[in-house]
Amino acid sequence: MNIDEQFEDFLAGLGVEMERPEDRQLNSDAIPEVSIFQASRDHYGVFYRLDIVERRPELRVMVPVDKGRVKMDIFLVRLSSRTPLNSCFNELSLYEGSAAYEHGREANLQHMLYAVAEMMKQLFWSGDLQYMSFPSEIEVYPLLLQDEIQTRHQ
């Protein structure tokens, strides 16, 4: 069972079902090439999960809230298709280099993911969570919102 399935099982135990908009592929069964977990240095109680999934960087932002049983909102942040960094990760994933390059591939992908995620975090926090309005360089999808959960269970 991968980390996404474990998290979904955890939420199901709390009576929460994750929504999956049918017009978007938000919950892919693809296993991340690289994953990094980190706590925010700038926002108290916020955690991040950084992944490269299907050759694209993804950022999950877990934001604490004072309502609901889970007491957190979760957002998926992706680079918009207009940014050139998506193609960069795709090309790097397909590139077959020297033995030295291949030996350091995962570490190099982690460093690149970390750098791109810092940009994605900055763009996310410059947006407006209340109105779900964000800079055009990123796409933000709510994966878990306490307001929606409370409304459905009332």
Percent of the chain with pLDDT over 70: 79
- pLDDT at 37 exceeding the cut of 60: yes
Domain borders along the chain are 3-18+27-152
Model confidence band, residue 134 (pLDDT cutoffs 50, 70, 90): very high
pLDDT value of residue 22: 40
Token reading at 109:
């992908």
66-70, long-range: CB within 8 Å, 24+ apart, which pairs?
67/146, 67/147, 67/150, 68/146, 68/149, 68/150, 69/14, 69/15, 69/16, 69/149, 70/11, 70/14, 70/16, 70/144, 70/146, 70/149
pLDDT per residue as tens digits for the range 48-62: 999 988 888 999 999
- Which residues does residue 75 pair with via DSSP β-bridges, in sequence order? 61, 142
